[in-house]
Amino acid sequence: MDAFEKQLREWLPTQRWYAGGARTIERVAVEQRTELVSGDPSLQLLLLSVEHTGGTDRYQLFLGTRSRLTGRLAHVHIGDGEGGAYYDAAHDSELTDRLLELVAGQAEVGPLRFRSVPGAGPLDVTLHSLAIPHEQTNTSLVYGEEYILKTFRRLVTGTNPDLELHLALVRAGSTHIAEPLGWYETDVDAEPTTLGLLQRFLRTGTDGWLLATGSVRDLYAEADLHADEVGGDFAAESERLGAATAAVHHDLAEALGAEPTGSAAELSRTMREHLAEARREAPSLAVHARAIDERFAAFPDQVDTFTVQRVHGDYHLGQVMRTTDGWVLLDFEGEPEHPLEYRRAKTSPLKDIAGMLRSFDYAAEHLLVEQYGDPQHEYRAREWSARNREAFCVGYADEADTDPREQRALLHAFELDKAVYEVVYESRHRPSWLRIPMNAIERIVGDSD
Ligand SMILES: Nc1ncnc2c1ncn2[C@@H]1O[C@H](COP(=O)(O)OP(=O)(O)O)[C@@H](O)[C@H]1O
Ligand SMILES: [Mg+2]
């Protein structure tokens, strides 16, 4: 093992985007190394393959080298070697400015291909980049206040659905997306594989989760008022969000097809399997497992087939932004923990609707866990959630040809499936939040239809 590999083995698990958890890393190999900026500092794009006890993952790393590391980069130091200090150059704006030039110039550098979206207009390459602080599974660079480049940290072989769906939606003329402007890719296992996506930065955008939870805080602060009486009432926004969601679903169906071929029997089987697996991990599900399973077993009696199409796939309030022009949907990657084939599969748009309805519940109830646990607040949280969930469905139904509330059996099944997943997640990571999905399960299985 060389010194660099040893440094990476220690450094990778300390990164938020690293997906291997605490599993022991057995080997780190550099599969591809391309120099993008030479000199001091220099920039190389590395593809790493990381073998650990649970399998092999691939990552993209912008590796910077400087003879002397300045203080502002100390927090991204990886190690030292030939030529100086190695560090994560995603945080070095002196180097990342170059990426925009490469996209604008449609450059090909070694195995890397940089592309701009035809018709998107010229890019201003004089802008400077900054890595945004709320780094999550990916790392994004903002250029001026004009563009945002999302660099995918963990790579999945193939075209990322985030790029694929953004290109389809911009061709369909969607006004509810951040315009895609370019991307860069390389071949992995002989397949073009997306490494990054450049989009218009939403200068006036505010995160949907922040807006929604702000409204809940307002409600809690107004001791005696109801959700429809307080200044921060969110229902009109929820209704507009429902309409935006329906418009995007419509455009996705038109661009990439919709077929009435979804099999309720098959979906029911999958959901029952999810439940069986979840029960093994989350004993708290036991009390409701039978009732949930009965719901899953029963819906194919009411619904035989349903329409399937491409959907967002990981839809919640943290994936939407409110701009002065309306709601915008972000991040069409799907659930990153699933294989690409599953993420690209057509399914019912009710899956997205259920995801957002669950998110309204979380927005309403997470403060109960953290600060307020009394029945009065609990009642008000329910009221907020019910009001906004309903408004979202009204907005959706007004814009679409279908009303999600008329497909209750299927919608409830998707919500239950999501809540079962949440129970597993919360038992693993935040046991005090468990009651949020448990409350939802109780509500749905207690509902008589
Ligand atoms: N076009 C954009 N304009 C402004 N902010 C954005 C834009 N795209 C993403 N963001 C911000 O970055 C966050 C993460 O983006 P997202 O695409 O969801 O990446 P991730 O895969 O890391 O979740 C968003 O929640 C939002 O705050
Ligand atoms: Mg996201």
Q: What is the DSSP string of 323-338?
A: ETTEEEE--TT--TTS
Asked whether residue 400 falls in the same domain as residue 295, the answer is yes
**Binding site membership of 205 for ligand 1 (Cβ less than 6 Å):** yes
- Whose CA is closest to atom 27 on ligand 1? 207
Quick one: which H or E segment has residue 199?
strand 191-200
pLDDT given for residue 68 in this prediction: 94
Asked whether residue 378 falls in the same domain as residue 236, the answer is yes
Asked whether residue 298 falls in the same domain as residue 415, the answer is yes
Asked whether residue 181 falls in the same domain as residue 227, the answer is no
Residue 336 lies in a domain: no
Residue 385 lies in a domain: yes
Asked whether residue 170 falls in the same domain as residue 262, the answer is no
What residues have their beta carbon closer than 5 A to ion ligand 2? Answer: 331
Asked whether residue 303 falls in the same domain as residue 158, the answer is no
Mean pLDDT, contiguous 10-residue spans, the chain (449 residues): 88 91 91 97 97 92 96 94 93 96 98 95 95 81 96 95 98 97 97 98 97 91 74 92 98 98 97 96 94 96 95 97 98 91 96 98 90 83 95 98 94 97 94 94 85
Best mutation site among 130, 132, 140 for ligand 1, i.e. most ligand atoms within 8 A of its Cβ?
140
Q: Are 393 and 364 in contact (CB under 8 A)?
A: no
**CA 386 from chain center: how many Å?**
24
Asked whether residue 146 falls in the same domain as residue 276, the answer is no
- Mark which of 201, 226, 259 sits at the end of a domain: 201
- Provide Rg for the chain, Cα atoms: 23
Ligand 1 atom at minimum distance from 319 CA: 18
Residue 220 lies in a domain: yes
pLDDT given for residue 401 in this prediction: 82
Residue 341 lies in a domain: no
Dist CA 323 CA 162 (whole Å): 20
Residue 8 lies in a domain: yes
When divided into structural domains, the chain yields a total of 2
**Binding site membership of 136 for ligand 1 (Cβ less than 6 Å):** yes
Residue 183, beta-bridge partner list: 115, 197
- Mark which of 147, 172, 201 sits at the end of a domain: 201
Ligand 1 atom at minimum distance from 136 CA: 22
Asked whether residue 106 falls in the same domain as residue 11, the answer is yes
Dihedral, CA atoms, 7, 11, 17, 23, nearest 10 degrees?
90
Phi-psi region of 386 (alpha: psi -120 to 50; beta: other; left: phi over 0): alpha
Among 360, 358, 318, 364, which residue's Cα sits nearest to residue 209? 318
- Whose CA is closest to atom 15 on ligand 1? 331
* Ligand minimally distant from the alpha carbon of residue 16: 1
Dist CA 104 CA 118 (whole Å): 11
In the structure encoding, which two tokens stand for residue 106, read together?
């449609």
Backbone angles phi, psi at 295, to 5 degrees: -60, -45
Q: Are strands 154-155 and 112-116 parallel, antiparallel or unpaired?
A: unpaired
In the structure encoding, which two tokens stand for residue 315, read together?
């839809």
pTM for this model (two decimals) = 0.95
Q: Which domain holds residue 250?
A: 206-311+346-446
Q: Are 65 and 4 in contact (CB under 8 A)?
A: no
First-to-final CA distance of the chain? 61
**Binding site membership of 140 for ligand 1 (Cβ less than 6 Å):** yes
Asked whether residue 193 falls in the same domain as residue 300, the answer is no
**Binding site membership of 417 for ligand 1 (Cβ less than 6 Å):** no
Other beta carbons within 10 Å of 105: 12
Residue 136 lies in a domain: yes
Q: Are 379 and 222 in contact (CB under 8 A)?
A: no
Asked whether residue 121 falls in the same domain as residue 252, the answer is no
Q: What is the CATH classification number for the domain harbouring 218?
A: 3.90.1200.10
What is the chain's percent helix, strand, coil content, to nearest 5?
45, 25, 30
Other beta carbons within 10 Å of 277: 13
**Binding site membership of 139 for ligand 1 (Cβ less than 6 Å):** no
Asked whether residue 367 falls in the same domain as residue 273, the answer is yes
- CA pseudo-torsion sign 279, 280, 286, 290: positive
- Whose CA is closest to atom 13 on ligand 1? 134
Asked whether residue 197 falls in the same domain as residue 49, the answer is yes
In the structure encoding, which two tokens stand for residue 401, read together?
């040809």
Residue 301 lies in a domain: yes
- Mark which of 173, 201, 229 sits at the end of a domain: 201
* Ligand minimally distant from the alpha carbon of residue 152: 1
Residue 332 lies in a domain: no
Cβ contacts of 114 within 8 Å, gap of 6 or more: 99, 102, 103, 105, 106, 107, 108, 182, 183, 184
pLDDT given for residue 324 in this prediction: 97
Instruction: Please tell me the distance between residue 240's alpha carbon and the centre of ligand 1 in angstroms.
Output: 20
